[in-house]
Amino acid sequence: MNSLKKIVKETERISWLSISQTTNETVKIVIFSIVCVLFLGFINWLLQNGLHNLLTL
């Protein structure tokens, strides 16, 4: 039971982000993820077309 009190006391000391900060950071992560997916998809498309063109010569 003592360890549970320590956990509760420790979580009270944490400075949590506000809702607006959390939303802002989440939007940044989603946008970054979309950009990464588009970039990697484009690279994949380039490699596939380049390889296909080389094989059909």
CA pseudo-torsion sign 36, 39, 42, 46: negative
Kindly state the tokens that stand for 31: 């946008």
pLDDT tens digits, 3-57: 999 998 998 899 889 999 999 999 999 999 999 999 999 999 999 998 888 778 7
Three-point CA angle 21, 27, 30, nearest 5°: 140
Q: What is the pLDDT of residue 24?
A: 98
